[in-house]
Structure 1
Amino acid sequence: MSSMTKLLYYPEALLSQRVHACLVEAGAEDTDAEATTRALLHASRIGVDSHGVRLVGHYVRLLRSGGVNSLPVPVFTRTGPATGQLNADGGLAHSAAYRAMDEAVSLARDAGIGAVGVHHSSHFGAAGAYVVEAARQGMIGLIMSNSDAAVSLFGGARPFHGTNPIAMAAPTSGSDPWLMDIATSSIPFNRVKLYRSLGLSLPSGVAASDDGRPTRDAQSAAFLQPLGGEEFGFKGAALAGLVTILAGVLTGAALDPVMVGTDEEQSDRKRQNVGHFAIAIDPARFIGQAAYDLAMGSYLDLLRNGPSVNSHNPVMAPGDREWQEARKRAETGIPVDPDTQRILGLI
């Protein structure tokens, strides 16, 4: 039996209930558990399983160890007509990220654009969860987060930047948003952990062992390589720096290479002080709503009707594959790996 056959499929409603219950049992407040569950199910729904329900065990351990604050008192401060800062008080990051995006949207309704920095936060999962919320409110949403060192510099032999994701969503009239959600590393490290659970080999050029040598063995992968691989990794490393500046330097969060590591966070009850940076843009305050809707529709029509090298696989816009997967999983259920099945009490 192959490792992939160990995946079992469950309806979203059941997984949502089990995830929420696990978080509350571990000490999370109901509102924080709800936000975390919503973010995890977003990822699982669209097929980003590395950042989906499988992360519940990680957050449960952090709640129980004190690596995150189970009773945070976040404080938002408006610092200007279009800017604000949110102190997440060391709590689960999902509530903080949703709050930051909501505040950015509110600022954008007044000023046309809103930007909110977050500090004293933690790992926020799939960045796309938060920008989709902005798009559903008619705004272009952009969010990024720094994290502890897990990715080498271009040509570097040790980790320096975090995986430092960037996500953006743009509303489209009458259809699901255009959605980009990428790490600035070759892959997210949670995908390494998923491959470990499933017994799969990694793609080439994405990870390295302790000695800095490339490896495809998920078990021996110690850190990641930047987006672009061995030849063009300078691009990913530069994008990781962009995220560090906006989400770390600008917000007052810890810088990637000196941030408390994930292992220390779990075992020593130290908190990471992760930073996020959320931006909301109101299209109506630039080109105008009607013109924006027309231009986005034209852009996506041109994109999707472009020639494809494979007639069976048409060209897709960012997000198309994920929204297709969400429709499929609404019928088939969401796949869950064996480790997470046990954590959720499904087996």
Structure 2
Amino acid sequence: MTKNFDAQSLRDFARAMFLSAGLREDDAALVAGDLVKANLRGVDSHGVSRIPMYLERLRRGLVNPQPTVHVSKVAGAVAHVDGDNGMGFIASDVAMNAACDIAGEMGIGLAGVHRSTHFGMGACYALRAIERGYISLIFTNSSPAIPMWGGRTTFLGASPIAAGIPGGKHPPYVMDMAMTVIARGKIRLAAMKGDPIPEGLALDVEGVPTTDAAKAFEGVCLPFGGVKGSVLGTLMDLMSGVLTGANFGGDVKSLYFDHSGPQNVGHLFFALRPDLFMSLTDFGARMDDFYGRIKELPRAAGVDEIMLPGEPEARREVERLRDGIPVTDNVIADLTAEGARVGIDFPRALAAA
């Protein structure tokens, strides 16, 4: 069962919870905003359900609540960002903005991050770059979730890739996808609800295919597209981990199961000015032309409309801002309990329609 909640009430709750864990005012608001943004866009696996897990790592001293994020210019168009083991949202916000700043001057900007943690929904950073008028490409590595092709143990992370391209009069292109068949967080949500998962998504700890979400979450997620997903996952780890100085090759610590030390996740943020090869007006017109062409394509059976990547999520955000964000009863119970620990009330649900 689910109940619907006003987005601002969830932001206020999340912000208060992170303030109680020692985050600075601006940082707590940033993290809260990004988590609720994920819920608004329908990416509930990366939304407020993750608050207890983040708080646990903060309580254990594995995440620095008030990091000093340091940005070093290492080449004309490149910055290196030290996240100081703070929340990945914070270092990543700094890095995406640094990449955009450099791109404004140089045409293209690159920021590599090390000593970071899980950074939430990758689309948040693509949307930030779009708001500033830039094309973006975002890489990250993560804790082991999928095998190298041919292996049966976890080695590579789900390691999503995200990208954003500003539109003209029509919606922008926003892509955000993990290297797993589905995001590992969605398997976690299914496990929390006691729901099964479809075949072909995961193996249990013995390397046996399973539809049990709990066993799948403890086991191995399978890469999308078989060997192609594994190859892309390898690229994410090499570029985000090896290149930036972060952990790599199975060394990124699990958010959920490994409390032995900081994660040291690595990220890579590219920003590009869209007016490098033509005027911004011409670029916007070409994006509008592209959008118009896909809307006129012949549709497959059962398809009502062909949409640009990011368009379904943008529409869902409009709906959820109007009708509220659905939160499952088990997540409500977890968040209510977390709030009770520090004397913060979980908000009331919206009245049923």
Q: TM-score range, shorter-chain basis? A: over 0.9
Correspondence for 2:324 among 328, 333, 336: 333
Q: How many Å separate the matches in 1 of 2:28 and 2:331?
A: 17
Structure 1 residue 193 displacement after superposition: 1.0
Matched position secondary structure for 1:89: coil
Correspondence for 1:142 among 132, 137, 160: 137
Structure 1 consecutive aligned stretches of length 4 or more whose deviation exceeds 4 Å: none
Q: Which amino acid aligns with 2:332?
A: Q
What residue in structure 2 maps to residue 3 of structure 1?
A: none
What residue in structure 2 maps to residue 226 of structure 1?
A: 223
Q: How many Å separate the matches in 2 of 1:255 and 1:333?
A: 39
Q: Which amino acid aligns with 1:101?
A: M
Q: How many Å separate the matches in 1 of 2:203 and 2:280?
A: 47
Q: How many Å separate the matches in 2 of 1:338 and 1:22?
A: 19
* Unaligned stretches of 5+ residues in structure 1: 1-5
Q: How many Å separate the matches in 1 of 2:257 and 2:301?
A: 47
Deviations 1:271-323 (A, max 9, x none): 01100000100011123312211111111111122111236521111011111
Matched position secondary structure for 2:195: coil
Matched position secondary structure for 2:36: helix
* Unaligned stretches of 5+ residues in structure 2: 337-345, 349-353
Deviations 1:189-226 (A, max 9, x none): 11111111222211221111011111111021112011
The 1:311–1:202 alpha-carbon spacing in structure 2 relative to 1, beyond 3 Å, is: closer
Q: Which amino acid aligns with 1:109?
A: G
Determine what percentage of the aligned residue pairs are the same residue.
Answer: 31
What residue in structure 2 maps to residue 45 of structure 1?
A: 40
1:254 and 2:247 matched: yes
Q: How many Å separate the matches in 1 of 2:66 and 2:15?
A: 16
Structure 1 residue 134 displacement after superposition: 0.3
Matched position secondary structure for 2:319: helix
| TM-score of the pair, normalised by structure 2 | 0.92
Correspondence for 2:236 among 213, 226, 243: 243
Q: Which amino acid aligns with 1:23?
A: F
What residue in structure 2 maps to residue 280 of structure 1?
A: 271
1:192 and 2:192 matched: no
1:160 and 2:155 matched: yes
Q: How many Å separate the matches in 1 of 2:173 and 2:109?
A: 20
What residue in structure 1 maps to residue 282 of structure 2?
A: 291
Structure 1 residue 346 displacement after superposition: 4.4
The alignment's C-alpha RMSD in Å is 1.4
After TM superposition, the structure 1 stretch with the greater mean CA deviation from structure 2, 331-340 or 81-90, is 331-340
What residue in structure 1 maps to residue 78 of structure 2?
A: 83
| TM-score of the pair, normalised by structure 1 | 0.93
Q: How many Å separate the matches in 2 of 1:44 and 1:200?
A: 20
